[in-house]
Amino acid sequence: MMRKATSPIWHPFTQHALQPEMTPVARGEGAYLFTADGRRIIDAIASWWVVTHGHCHPHIVRAIQDQAERLDQVIFAGHSHEPAEQVAAGLLALVPPSLAHVFFSDSGATSVEVALKMALGYFRNIGEPRSRIVVMQHSYHGDTIGAMSVGARGVFNAAYEPLLFDVAVIPFPSPGREQATLDALAALCESDRPAAFIVEPLVLGAGGMLMYPAAVLREMHRICKAFGVLFIADEVMTGWGRTGTLFACEQADIAPDIACYAKGLTGGAVPLAVTLCSPAIYEAHYSTDRARTFFHSSSYTANPIACAAASANLELWRQPQTRARIAAVAAAQQRCLDRLRYDERFSALRRCGTITALDLHADEPGYLAEVGPRLQAFFRDSDVLLRPLGHTIYVMPPYCVTSGDLEAVYAVIDEAVDHVL
């Protein structure tokens, strides 16, 4: 008999028949979550990769409190406000110089939808309609229909396949196979005249924390430029220090035409996303002809409270301690990983900035690998928040995590793997 859930809530990416009860979280502080019954959980995946400086960071909390008392929400068509202006100006001081305009939305997926619409709008408005999008194998860009269309096909979206639009796919640049990726991109750019190439720079997150070198990213950008194909950097996961630099594109020294940022934009406190674009894309829409308007909005676009949180986050990024923390977390992660280097239970140990990942020698790879839920249950019982991607275990903590916390996380990984293998 399946145990029935006691709550009417339908949770994301959750099979309720297998996991009827959720962990009830009452409070968050720094790298920890606390349950109502007093358990302390180490948040080793930054609550789905969003929390950067730590839960309930006092500077961000104060900014939210102050803004909530002044202006909670205002329609963003025809109106603006100081927190949004601060975020836009603050972002432009930090991002690659190719980006000059800031469009607000609410989540990573919507920032990707906006990016795709900007790309198609650009080509339509310059009188050269193009609509084909090139993507990388194993990509993930969100769960709306457009974002799923540019992401990998699989168990996640099989039911919706008839609604997904067709895209051109280049292979993931796995070690030794980089040239095949570059050749495929160049061939598609030439034959298909695509509008854009969208890619997660340096690390493919949900696809299994797959990492590739900055030189490949740089070369993919060069190819797109050479063929007049717009380059969209989806930095939703890689942004905000995750790969060791503020944005992953910095490591390849490239200037994308469009960039998507979300998750850590508010330090992980409240939802907010932005899509930034080059002057050419903005100018292609800039006209006295109302038909050229960029027709996109959502009710809460640039919500002032969310913008105040983002503005506070940008202030934290202007402090040198923030980058020093990232370097320290990256070094501590490497030390923990090094101890598993010759452990035969694991393969493909890898790190990019503050993210580590390793694969379990399991019989069946893929997201539905049976080891995944068993590991997750063990982690839950051990008060460590980790969610393996199939047989891939990864650690992506908030930057306030201590070396001691990380050692505890890897000790639990060690035990968990013994338990399930």
Please give the residue ranges that form the binding site for ligand PMP (CB under 6 A): 107-109, 112, 140-142, 200, 205-206, 234, 236-237, 262
CB of 109 to ligand PMP, least distance (A): 3
Which residue number places its CB atom closest to ligand PMP? 108
Task: Give whichever of 239 and 304 is closer to ligand PMP, judged by the CB atom.
Answer: 239
Question: Could you give the 3-state DSSP secondary structure of residue 70?
Answer: helix
Question: Could you give the 3-state DSSP secondary structure of residue 318?
Answer: coil
Q: Which amino acid, 326?
A: I
Task: Give whichever of 98 and 238 is closer to ligand PMP, judged by the CB atom.
Answer: 238
CB of 381 to ligand PMP, least distance (A): 25
CB of 203 to ligand PMP, least distance (A): 9
CB of 408 to ligand PMP, least distance (A): 25
CB contact at 8 A, 104 and 302: yes
CB of 135 to ligand PMP, least distance (A): 12
Task: Give whichever of 43 and 234 is closer to ligand PMP, judged by the CB atom.
Answer: 234
Torsion sign over Cα 336, 338, 343, 344: positive
Q: How do strand 133-136 and strand 196-199 relate by DSSP bridges? A: parallel
Task: Give whichever of 47 and 402 is closer to ligand PMP, judged by the CB atom.
Answer: 47
Contacts 24+ apart (CB under 8 A), 80-86: 81/302, 81/304, 81/307, 83/304, 83/307, 83/308, 83/310, 83/311, 84/302, 84/304, 84/307, 86/307, 86/311, 86/314
CB of 303 to ligand PMP, least distance (A): 15
Task: Give whichever of 133 and 332 is closer to ligand PMP, judged by the CB atom.
Answer: 133
Q: How many CB atoms lie under 10 A from the CB of residue 264?
A: 28
Task: Give whichever of 270 and 412 is closer to ligand PMP, judged by the CB atom.
Answer: 270
Q: Any residues with CB less than 8 A from the CB of 123 and at least 6 apart, and which?
A: 129, 130, 131, 195
Task: Give whichever of 50 and 412 is closer to ligand PMP, judged by the CB atom.
Answer: 50
Task: Give whichever of 262 and 281 is closer to ligand PMP, judged by the CB atom.
Answer: 262
Please report, to the nearest 10 degrees, the dihedral formed by the alpha carbons of residues 10, 38, 410, 323 taken in order.
90
CB of 4 to ligand PMP, least distance (A): 28
CB of 262 to ligand PMP, least distance (A): 5
CB of 250 to ligand PMP, least distance (A): 17
Please report, to the nearest 10 degrees, the dihedral formed by the alpha carbons of residues 281, 78, 114, 117 taken in order.
-60
C-alpha–C-alpha distance, residues 170 and 134, integer Å: 7
Question: Could you give the 3-state DSSP secondary structure of residue 349?
Answer: strand
C-alpha–C-alpha distance, residues 19 and 13, integer Å: 11
Longest dimension (CA), the chain: 66
Burial 13-35 (b: 16+ CB within 10 A, else e): eeebeebeeeeebeebebbbbee
Task: Give whichever of 221 and 285 is closer to ligand PMP, judged by the CB atom.
Answer: 221
